[in-house]
């Protein structure tokens, strides 16, 4: 069983150890050490990474880390650390020699970030618990965001209060102590959460604020967290999932918000706090503009329809067959024109947009013996694109063939009618 240095000394980042077993785990080189400061994934906290140093003097004090790869010492990456049957398995970039003494160094930037998030989580969970008796049912620390899942729903007002309470404890720089007790002894203690395991329990105690059973790594005083912010909250499984960022991540979260907000205020020429109102106003204006545009389009479509009817040289009462490519109209505009024509005359109309990919609308007046959707189907089968509709009106798009060729094919499809 590996002796876990981080249980009692979470600030240990360099150490020496002997390789008690060198083996292959899931196809990757791996090692067990007699003692380790590497934290394996558990309790919501991700694993540590770092380096092992093997070679002359690598195992001696001072050899680790500082020696690097100089003087016959080779560095091997610890790419992952996992807990397997009470042992800590170090997954390596290259094999290490069984029985060798090695120096070791954990990636402290990564680990310290995890410590800030994890202690931050204890504070935030304790704050929800103490203020609103809202328990944390699970905790997850991702590479960007960390979340706690609360048993019950929390309002934004409650979230802001819990956030404030957690930060107050951060700024009071309270001691975070590690204690070991038996599970019988623990039963008499006011633990925030019932411990799931028997035997010796490791407790993390934030002075006069929180007491939890936890195997994770924590900062020694709350001040090291710096600050903690809740970045998002959503309903989740009958409760609330709260996303938070502590320490360096809180600063990063602020920086990314600042960038987004700065870009928006520049574009809209308003103050940050005026953004929601400015966006609301823009949305209302857009809605008005769309309505106006639709009105103009309808009026213009009626004109265009009248022009198409007027351009047909046929005798009074005869059926019109209109096949035209029109400039500047989308499928809705073409539909409006076609509908106008089929209402004003006894007609079959096929309209295309001149821009490729071409939109198509085919329509007929009541009583005309043409199946618009069948004609469209034939065009799509031949030229590609997509669309559908009914016998009196069909619309489609995505045709990329030359529009004159599509028009010719359409005239041919409507042929028997054009001759009548």
Q: Which residues here bind Zn ion, judged by CB under 5 A?
A: 214, 216
Separation of alpha carbons 85 and 21, rounded Å: 14
Identity of the residue, 110 or 140, whose beta carbon is nearer to Zn ion in the bound complex: 140
Identity of the residue, 33 or 214, whose beta carbon is nearer to Zn ion in the bound complex: 214
Identity of the residue, 104 or 214, whose beta carbon is nearer to Zn ion in the bound complex: 214
Q: Which contiguous run of DSSP H or E holds residue 395? A: strand 393-399
Partnered with residue 3 across adjacent β-strands are 35
Identity of the residue, 216 or 333, whose beta carbon is nearer to Zn ion in the bound complex: 216
Residue 150 near residue 240 (C-beta atoms within 8 A):
yes
Shortest separation between residue 218's beta carbon and Zn ion, angstroms: 8
Partnered with residue 200 across adjacent β-strands are 182
Shortest separation between residue 118's beta carbon and Zn ion, angstroms: 6
Separation of alpha carbons 268 and 278, rounded Å: 7
Identity of the residue, 176 or 341, whose beta carbon is nearer to Zn ion in the bound complex: 176
Residue 66 near residue 82 (C-beta atoms within 8 A):
no
Shortest separation between residue 45's beta carbon and Zn ion, angstroms: 7
Shortest separation between residue 182's beta carbon and Zn ion, angstroms: 19
Shortest separation between residue 139's beta carbon and Zn ion, angstroms: 7
Identity of the residue, 122 or 340, whose beta carbon is nearer to Zn ion in the bound complex: 122
Separation of alpha carbons 192 and 186, rounded Å: 11
Separation of alpha carbons 335 and 185, rounded Å: 79
Shortest separation between residue 176's beta carbon and Zn ion, angstroms: 11
Name the residue number minimizing CB distance to Zn ion. Answer: 214
Shortest separation between residue 119's beta carbon and Zn ion, angstroms: 8
Identity of the residue, 146 or 339, whose beta carbon is nearer to Zn ion in the bound complex: 146
The pair of three-digit structure tokens given for residue 63, joined into one six-digit string: 């050899």
Separation of alpha carbons 35 and 16, rounded Å: 8
Question: Which of these, 101, 56, 50, 99, lies nearest to 76 by C-alpha position?
Answer: 50
Partnered with residue 22 across adjacent β-strands are 31
Please, how many CA atoms are within 13 Å of residue 359, restricted to the half-sphere of its CB?
Answer: 15
Partnered with residue 32 across adjacent β-strands are 21
């Amino acid at each position: 069983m590996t002796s876990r240095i981080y249980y009692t000394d979470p600030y240990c980042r360099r150490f020496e150890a002997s390789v008690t077993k060198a083996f292959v785990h899931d196809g990757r080189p791996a090692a067990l050490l007699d003692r380790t400061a590497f934290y394996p994934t558990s309790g919501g906290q991700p694993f540590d990474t770092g380096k092992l140093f093997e070679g002359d003097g690598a195992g001696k004090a001072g050899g680790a880390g500082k020696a690097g790869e100089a003087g016959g010492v080779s560095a091997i990456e610890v790419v992952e650390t996992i807990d397997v049957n009470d042992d800590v398995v170090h997954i390596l970039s290259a094999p290490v020699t069984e029985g060798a003494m090695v120096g070791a160094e954990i990636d402290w930037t990564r680990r310290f970030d995890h410590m800030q998030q994890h202690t931050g989580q204890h504070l935030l969970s304790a704050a929800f618990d103490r203020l609103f008796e809202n328990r944390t049912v699970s905790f997850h620390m991702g590479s960007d965001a960390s979340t706690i899942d609360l048993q019950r729903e929390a309002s934004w007002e409650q979230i802001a209060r819990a956030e404030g309470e957690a930060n107050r404890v951060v700024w009071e720089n309270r001691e975070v102590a590690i204690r070991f007790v038996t599970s019988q002894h623990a039963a008499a203690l006011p633990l925030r959460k019932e411990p799931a395991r028997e035997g010796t329990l490791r407790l993390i105690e934030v002075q006069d604020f929180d007491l939890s059973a936890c195997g994770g790594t924590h900062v020694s005083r709350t001040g090291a967290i710096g600050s903690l912010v809740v970045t998002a909250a959503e309903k989740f499984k009958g409760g609330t999932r709260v996303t938070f960022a502590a320490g360096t991540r809180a600063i990063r979260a602020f920086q990314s918000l600042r960038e987004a907000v700065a870009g928006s205020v520049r574009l809209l020429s308003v103050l940050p706090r005026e953004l929601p109102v400015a966006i609301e106003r823009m949305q209302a204006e857009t809605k008005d503009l769309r309505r106006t545009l639709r009105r103009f389009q309808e009026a213009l479509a009626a004109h265009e329809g009248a022009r198409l009817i007027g351009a047909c040289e046929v005798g009074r009462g005869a059926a019109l067959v209109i096949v035209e490519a029109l400039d500047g109209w989308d499928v809705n505009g073409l539909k409006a024109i076609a509908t106008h024509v089929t209402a004003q005359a006894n007609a079959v109309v096929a309209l295309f947009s001149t821009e490729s990919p071409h939109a198509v609308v085919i329509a007929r007046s009541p009583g005309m013996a043409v199946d618009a959707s069948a004609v469209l189907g034939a065009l799509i089968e031949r030229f590609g694109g997509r669309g559908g509709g009914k016998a009196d009106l069909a619309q489609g798009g995505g045709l990329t063939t030359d529009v004159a060729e599509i028009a010719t094919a359409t005239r041919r499809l409507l042929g028997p009618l054009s001759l009548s």
